Amino acid sequence: MIFIKLKAGALQFTMFIIVMIALLLASFILIVHFHKRFKDDTTLLIKAVNLSNNSITQLLNNPELIPNLNSELDTESLVEIDLGYWGIFETIKVTTTVKKKTHHKMALVGSKQLEAHPALFLKDYNKPLVLVGNTTIEGNVLLPKKGVRAGNISGVSYYGEQLIQGNINTISNFPEVSEHILNHLEDIKTKLSEVGSNQYLNLAQTDTARNSFYEPINVVYERGNINLSDITLTGHIIVYSESKIAVDASADLKDIILVAPTIEIGNRVKGRFQALASKTIMVGNGCELSYPSTLVLQPKNNPNTQNSNDAEDIMINISESSNIIGSVIFLGVTEKSNFKPQIFIDQNSLVTGEVYCTGNMDLRGSIYGSVYTHNFIAAQSGSIYQNHVFNAIINVNKLPIEFSGITFNSSNKKVLQWLY
């Protein structure tokens, strides 16, 4: 028998090789295990995400499906639905669970555009629509039985070759904003009184606040005036004043809601928010409010007489060279003797979206989208001209198909923004 004498270092080297091989094998097994687990988790998460998307799609126009959503799922899946409101819009929050994987998704919901979206819907008060100057209306319209004609104001006649560049139909029932939305707007103050003390923000102590829509609402409240300047507010936040809110150009406001009797949006303000007032909304020169901003005026006391001081004050006033992408809404009742505008859009201003007015509208700028109004008025040369439109543009063909806006009682619904 032959014996080979090995050095001790060789044995150590052999043990080192064995340990390294063991470590490599263990690492490979762990990698395979985590890869399989990651793949399984990803599959479950994708399933949860798809379930959230499908649930929202089903619920947009079929809220009655809520009790039946889970009955069609397997035993490993669960869907929880929370319907709510954010200003003039509805919200849908969906929480889906597949085994231990949970996914949340929340949508801001408005109305879905129809192929026959009108350029103009004018209520029938037995008066024709009269076009004067360089007025242009492009798209299908619904008008009173007396139709449309060219007119003259202080020697200025209608300069166009065609009165309406689209189909003309006789108006039926004037569209009404969803009753659920109207009830919610009236209940906002009551609901704010129910928030906890820890949900209030003190603007004197902070110049930046961001709140997720998955968290309880934050509220800024004052009995007196609130001046928003050199401040950033984003998300699930309501600013409420019992007097007036003034917004300065130095404020950065995104997705929040302003609530006050009077809201003044200063010159050159840029932002994305909802303004809900009961008396006056003033928009300064050169403002840029991005989609889906909304201006909503819902008066507590209706401007019922021509000479009433309240009737002069109750209005949405959009000054020159402002650009609003969203909805401008007046929700009130006006009598025939009231010749003051409840919505005034000055020259060189543009609203891309929808304008809805249950009163009088003085349009001197442009609207790329739809107008729903009870009356037009034109205040020119010291006189008031009823149902006259002077040097204005309404063009529904320039409204992006992706736009989603006011929810009417009979309208289909669409996601207009994903919340965070």
Residue 140 neighbours by CB distance under 10 Å: 19
Are both 33 and 177 inside the same structural domain?
Answer: no
Across 151-266, the runs of DSSP E, i.e. the strands, are 152-153, 156-157, 168-170, 208-211, 218-222, 226-228, 232-235, 237-241, 244-247, 252-265
Q: What domain count does the chain have?
A: 2
Are both 174 and 316 inside the same structural domain?
Answer: yes
Structural domain for 346, as ranges? 120-409
The phi and psi torsions of 324 (rounded to 5 degrees) equal: -120, 125
- 418: in domain: no
The pLDDT of residue 105 is 93
CA Rg value for the chain: 30
Are both 243 and 163 inside the same structural domain?
Answer: yes
Q: What is the helix (H) or strand (E) element at residue 43, kind and residue range? A: helix 8-59
CB 83 within 8 A of CB 90: yes
Three-class SS state of 262: strand
Q: What is the helix (H) or strand (E) element at residue 78, kind and residue range? A: strand 77-86
Last residue of a domain, one of 61, 88, 111: 111
Side chain identity, residue 242: E
Are both 81 and 149 inside the same structural domain?
Answer: no
Burial profile 95-116: b = 16 or more Cβ within 10 angstroms, e = fewer:
bbbbeebebebbbbbbbbbeee
The pLDDT of residue 98 is 86
Instruction: Return the DSSP state at 216.
Output: P
- 139: in domain: yes
Q: For the chain (length 420 residues), average pLDDT per consecutive 10?
A: 60 77 83 71 75 83 66 73 92 88 90 80 94 97 95 93 94 88 88 88 92 96 96 97 97 98 98 97 98 95 48 86 98 80 97 97 97 95 92 96 88 90
Are both 223 and 311 inside the same structural domain?
Answer: yes
- 313: in domain: yes
Distance CA 141, CA 169 (A): 6
Q: 242's torsion region: left (phi>0), alpha (psi -120 to 50) or beta? A: alpha
The pLDDT of residue 173 is 87
Instruction: Return the DSSP state at 51.
Output: H
Are both 398 and 304 inside the same structural domain?
Answer: yes
Are both 126 and 165 inside the same structural domain?
Answer: yes
- 416: in domain: no
Structure tokens at 276: 């809900």
416's CB contacts (< 8 A; 6+ apart) are 89, 108, 109, 110, 291, 292, 403, 404, 405
The pLDDT of residue 2 is 59
Are both 76 and 158 inside the same structural domain?
Answer: no
Last residue of a domain, one of 52, 76, 111: 111
- 175: in domain: yes
Last residue of a domain, one of 111, 132, 147: 111
- 138: in domain: yes
The pLDDT of residue 303 is 46
The pLDDT of residue 92 is 92
Are both 150 and 54 inside the same structural domain?
Answer: no
- 3: in domain: no
Distance CA 298, CA 366 (A): 23
Are both 54 and 146 inside the same structural domain?
Answer: no
Q: Which residues pair with 284 in a beta bridge?
A: none
- 346: in domain: yes
Are both 283 and 309 inside the same structural domain?
Answer: yes
